[in-house]
Every structure is written in C-alpha cells, then in structure tokens.
Amino acid sequence: MASVTYSYKMFKYFNRTYAISEQAPPPDVKDAFSLFADGADSMSADQLLHFLHDHQLESDYTEEDSNRIVETVLQSRAQNTECDSENTGLTLDEFFRFLFLVDFNDALKSQVHHDMNAPLSHYFIYTGHNSYLTGNQLSSDCSDVPIIKALQKGVRVIELDLWPNSTKDDIDVVHGRTLTAPVSLIQCLKSIKEYAFVKSEYPLIITLEDHLTPFLQAKVAEMVAQVFGDLLYYPETDLLTEFPTPESVKGRILISTKPPKEYLESKPFKDSDSERESIDEGTSSPGIITELEVADEKSDGNDLDEESLNARDKKPDQQSISEYKRLITIHAGKPKGNVKDHLNVVGGVKRLSLSEQELERASIAHGSDIVRYTQKNIIRVYPKGTRVTSSNYRPHIGWIYGAQMVAFNMQGHGKSLWYMQGMFRANGGCGYVKKPSFLIEQGPDDEVFDPKKPMPVKKTLMVKVFLGNGWSTDFSKTHFDTFSPPDFYTKVCIVGIPADRVNRKTKIIYDDWFPVWDEEFEFPLCVPELALLWIEVREYDKHEKDDFGGQACFPVPELRSGFRVVPLFDEKGEQLKTVKLLMRFQFK
C-alpha cells in the first residue's frame, strides 16, 4: 500500500515527519466486490449491473449503463501501463474508485420526481426573507446581488420591501426604519427576470411588502407588467378557491401581496402581513425607528402617511387600482387579534404570515388548526425582529405544521440554513418539495397530524461512515494543526420532530489526512418523512473550539440505499472542490 509523507516544522528547529498510508477499500466494499464478482479478480459489466440493481437498489440502470461504466474505466486503465490491460472487468481498486463517482453514486436523485400537479399549498417552497439584503438587518446595503445568488441556489420565493423613494415619485426596495441603503425596484425586477429560472423551471413567487401610496401601487403594476411581460401569471379570478399547481404555472412569475385599499375595505384583513412584520422588526431596534412608524400604526395598513399622499395631489383612477389588484395571485393578510380566529378554510384561499414566535405560541394551543389551515391555504413564517444579524431559526417549527413558506435569511450561514439547504436538495433541487400525505389529508374522523403526539417507530435508517478524503487538496498543510496532520471525526445527526432528534459521532482519527472510521449508526424514526440527515466533519482541538471540516445535509426520504459518495460543503453552503466521504445508507 502506497504512503504519503508530511513534514511539519516544530519550534523553528525540528522537523516532524508523518507517513500516512493511502486508503484501501474497506472490508464491506471488499465483501460486496467478492459477492457480485463471484469470487473472481474482476467484475464484469453484467456483474456490475447486478450490483447496481441488488445492492444499490438502482432499478433504472440498464445493461448499456453498466457497459458504459466499464468502458470508461478500461479507457482510463489503458493510459496506465502498470495495469493488466487484458482484464475486461473492474478490479477491486477500480470498483473502489467507481464508488467515489458522484454521477453514479450520489446520495440523492438529481431529477424532479414528485407529483407536481397538486395545488401550491401541498408543497414546501424554498423561501427567502428580505431577499435584497447583503448582510445584517439594520445597516447593510440593499442590492439585487443577493437576489441573484438566491435564485441561482434554487430559491422560489423572493421578498421585496417596497417604499417610496426620497422624492416620493418612485419606488425603492429597502428595509424600512433602518439604515440600510436602498436599491431601485426596477433594478431588482430586471435581475429577477434574468435569473428567475436558471436553477428551476417551476414558478417563482414574489412577495411584496407594500408600504406605498395608491399612486405608487399603480406604478408598481406598470413596472411589473412591462418587465416580466408574458412571464407574469395573472389569476383568472379576484380570489382563488384553490391555488394553481406548480406544473400548470411552470416558467411563470406569481405575485403575492395584500390587496390595495379599495379592495381591502370589504375583506376581513384590515392589517397586512407586511405592515405587521415591519412593526415586529422595527420595535426591536428603537434607535433606528423613524417617524414613519407612528404614521404606520395610525394607518389602516395601506397608506404610508398624509405627507406621502399629499405629495401626489391626485388619486389614481379605479383602472389603476384594478391593475395592481389584477397582479395578485396569492392574496396576503395579517389579521388583527387572536391567530385562532383566522385559521379558517372558508372562502377563497390566501396566505397568512406569522413570525416564528407567533407560530410557536399558536401551535401550543392550536396546532391542529394550523395543520388543517395549511392543507388548503399558505402560511409564511418569518424570522423574529431580534435577528438583526440575519440569523435563522430551526425550519422544522414551520414544516411540522405544514407551513409552506418558511422564510430564511439566505445571506448568512449556520446550522439552520444548512438544514434549509438540505431539505431543498430534494426533488431534484427544483425548490418545491411535496408535503407528506399526513400534512395534506385528514384522517377518517377528520383528525390531522399532531407532531407532539407519541408515535411508534415507522422506519430505521442505518448509516455507516467508512472514510473521507480530499482535505489535503482543498486546505493548506497547516490549516487545521500547525505541527501535525488533522484529527478528524464525523458527527451524524437526525433533525426532525422532537422524538426523532439524535446526535452521534465517530471516534477521532489522529494525525491523518485520510481518516478511516468504519463505524455504523442506527436511527429509529417515527416520522422519517420530515427527517433530515445532517453530517459534519470536525477537527478535534484539545485547547480551542474544534475546527470545521465540511458538512452535508440530506432529506431522509430521498436517500438512495447502498454505498454513496457524499461531497461536503463549506460554512456558506458552497461545495468543497475535493472533500468527500464514502458512506452507506440502508433502511429497515
């Protein structure tokens, strides 16, 4: 077995040398090779196909696929004169290297495979919060750049906060009552149009947090129609009784906001979700609040203040207001009073916005009502106002009650955002994940899912961590330890309903860039449909905080059985160039 030598200088005068062996196939890989190769020294294309079908449970692979894999390996072998070119099958080492090919052994399917013909309310939707902010919630710049980045990652709901500009004749996108620097609405719209479908062809929803006069609302309607053109979806009726399906509005842009003032007067929502959210966020930072807040609290949620109205010495005609109203596919509102009073399913469908705190409070006494509401309507959950650093909350507080739009600050990083990114790797990364049937359907006695109710184990996930490599390529020799190779261990965790949450970790492998753990963990799951598997590699440090070595997160229902290669991601969610783990997933 070949080895690699690493030298470290200690105390400026002494060299310390480490000879580290390159990785060999672990025993389980050897056993699988021997089994499917019938004890021979090589595995033929037919035998590889049986391995793919029986061990990897990949029924879609064909004889042509297995022949192509073997031919690719043979072509690579021909360039190496030390190999036996007469062997027409995969050797053990070649089979081992094949397992590291992401194109064939990724942990998840890369194609959309969920039913996309159900109403939008039947899906978890990849949702951004204050999508235009480049950093913190109080003083960062507003820009179209974070919007573009979010769309490139597959986000399907973009939020824009609309305020009058300084001369009150145009519209800025800015986080109101803060020191954030604005960006023009037209610039944001143009960038959205350019990048809306680069990652996913399924509908893009724009939620407008509207702090505009009727005159400027009419101007928004004109801008949106001109920029998006045929991409813009117009609802067939003023108030839908059922949302369209992702498939039916594929490649289209949908608008979600509160109806304009004249339309609101006859509707149950007197206070919009956007106004309530701004007040929630603004009150957390009293030093930043301006006189606009007082005006907002006195208004009915549709006018900014008297000065703004008087600045335009005219009212828009009914046609202008009708154009703004006509844009809205998903009607939004934030009712005053007790949330329970508004969790009804009567009449047209709508979107209700709740802060993470409001949702948690409501779920204590009205969890079943929330689940029942989200079977037909949409709930959007947004971060509490004290998250001024653009941190995030655990997304499961919304998902376990069926909330479709769990809105996140995409410009940050951390565990919560990693969980969000992991969930939306499902279904080919298209940004829409079909909710489990128990969050969509009612039981025989009209009962609905209760995440707090004791439940039996439904399925057990077996996770084996074999080995990892790539750190020596992606990181400098002294990145983790100044005087020696790193000491890696792997954390393997389940994130889901409270009963399913569990953390495990491997032993520490000291002084080795190519750690081999060969450890297996068993995870009994009560609600596997909502579980995430989170994997993180850390480098042990006796005196300081352990160093970060990469992470990955996967939706448990989407995991593919068998040997799988797991590329790791950095703290911002970007995939590391070379770092990978070899793992095995099995269900029983």
Residues 84-102: pLDDT tens digits?
556 788 999 999 999 999 9
pLDDT score, position 495: 98
Structure tokens given for 157: 């709901």
Q: What share of the chain is helix, strand, coil (3-state, %, to 5)?
A: 30, 25, 45
Q: Distance between the two ends of the chain, CA-based, in angstroms?
A: 36
pLDDT score, position 346: 75
Q: In whole angstroms, what is the distance from residue 330 CA to residue 395 CA?
A: 22
Structure tokens given for 35: 């089994």
Dihedral angle at the C-alpha atoms of 262, 265, 269, 274, nearest 10 degrees?
30
Nearest Cα residue to 143 out of 183, 111, 106: 183
Q: What percent of the chain has pLDDT over 70?
A: 87
pLDDT at 540 over 80: yes
> Residue 560 — very low, low, confident or very high, per pLDDT cuts 50/70/90?
very high
Higher-pLDDT residue of 274, 103: 103
Which domains can be identified in the chain, with CATH numbers?
22-105 (1.10.238.10), 120-259+319-439 (3.20.20.190), 456-587 (2.60.40.150)
Q: How many CB atoms lie within 10 A of CB 520?
A: 17
Q: In degrees, to the nearest 5, what angle opens at C-alpha 29 toward C-alphas 28 and 30?
A: 90
pLDDT score, position 12: 67
Q: In whole angstroms, what is the distance from residue 482 CA to residue 8 CA?
A: 8
Amino acid at 274: S
pLDDT score, position 317: 58
pLDDT at 279 over 90: no
Average pLDDT, the chain: 88
> Helices (DSSP H) in 300-355: which residue ranges?
306-311, 318-327
Higher-pLDDT residue of 2, 361: 361
Active site residue: 114, 175, 396, 413, which one?
A: 175
Higher-pLDDT residue of 335, 147: 147
pLDDT at 196 over 90: yes
Q: In whole angstroms, what is the distance from residue 323 CA to residue 316 CA?
A: 11
175 is catalytic: yes
Look at residue 4 and give its three-state secondary structure.
strand
Q: Find tokens 């062809």 and name the residue.
A: 201
Cβ 463 vs Cβ 583: under 8 Å = yes
pLDDT score, position 286: 36
Q: What average pLDDT does this structure show over 547-565? A: 98
> Residue 277 — very low, low, confident or very high, per pLDDT cuts 50/70/90?
low
List, for residues 461-519, the tens digit of each pLDDT value: 999 999 999 999 999 999 999 889 999 999 999 999 999 999 999 999 999 999 999 99
pLDDT at 165 over 60: yes
> Residue 341 — very low, low, confident or very high, per pLDDT cuts 50/70/90?
confident
pLDDT at 33 over 80: yes
pLDDT score, position 74: 81
CA distances 259 to 324, 394, 426, 517, Å, are: 8, 31, 33, 58
pLDDT score, position 11: 67
Which range, of 317-321, 329-333, 355-359, 529-533, averages the lowest pLDDT? 317-321
Nearest Cα residue to 466 out of 585, 307, 315, 341: 585
Q: In whole angstroms, what is the distance from residue 356 CA to residue 362 CA?
A: 10
pLDDT at 221 over 50: yes
Cβ 546 vs Cβ 53: under 8 Å = no
Strand order in the sheet with 547-555: 502-505, 488-495, 532-539, 547-555, 562-569, 575-587, 459-469, 516-525
Q: What average pLDDT does this structure show over 373-400? A: 96
Cβ 152 vs Cβ 126: under 8 Å = no
Active site residue: 53, 113, 122, 129, which one?
A: 129
Q: In whole angstroms, what is the distance from residue 359 CA to residue 401 CA?
A: 9
Q: How many CB atoms lie within 10 A of CB 518?
A: 14
Q: Using the 8-state DSSP alphabet, how is residue 181 labeled?
A: B
CA distances 412 to 155, 228, 271, 419, Å, are: 14, 29, 30, 13
CA distances 105 to 43, 282, 465, 510, 572, Å, are: 17, 48, 15, 28, 24
Q: How many CB atoms lie within 10 A of CB 566?
A: 24
Q: In whole angstroms, what is the distance from residue 322 CA to residue 435 CA?
A: 34
55 is catalytic: no
Across 155-164, 326-335, 438-447, the highest mean pLDDT is recorded for: 155-164
Nearest Cα residue to 352 out of 258, 284, 454: 258
Residue 201, classified by CB atoms within 10 Å of its CB into exposed (0-12), middle (13-18) or buried (19+), is middle
Higher-pLDDT residue of 319, 586: 586
Q: Which residues pair with 222 in a beta bridge?
A: none
The set of residues, in sequence order, having a beta carbon less than 8 Å from that of 329 and lying 6+ positions away, is 233, 234, 235, 240, 243, 244, 254, 255, 256
CA 366 and chain centroid, separation: 27
Cβ 350 vs Cβ 378: under 8 Å = yes
pLDDT score, position 347: 80
Cβ 123 vs Cβ 405: under 8 Å = no
> Residue 378 — very low, low, confident or very high, per pLDDT cuts 50/70/90?
very high
Q: What percent of the chain has pLDDT over 90?
A: 75
Q: Catalogue the E-assigned strands of 170-316.
A: 171-173, 183-184, 204-210, 253-257
List, for residues 169-179, the tens digit of each pLDDT value: 999 999 999 99
Q: In whole angstroms, what is the distance from residue 25 CA to residue 13 CA?
A: 38
Amino acid at 512: D
Cβ 433 vs Cβ 527: under 8 Å = no
pLDDT score, position 3: 72
List, for residues 396-405, the tens digit of each pLDDT value: 999 999 999 9
pLDDT score, position 266: 41
Look at residue 456 and give its three-state secondary structure.
coil
Nearest Cα residue to 115 out of 240, 236, 202: 202
pLDDT score, position 298: 32
Which range, of 58-67, 126-135, 179-188, averages the lowest pLDDT? 58-67
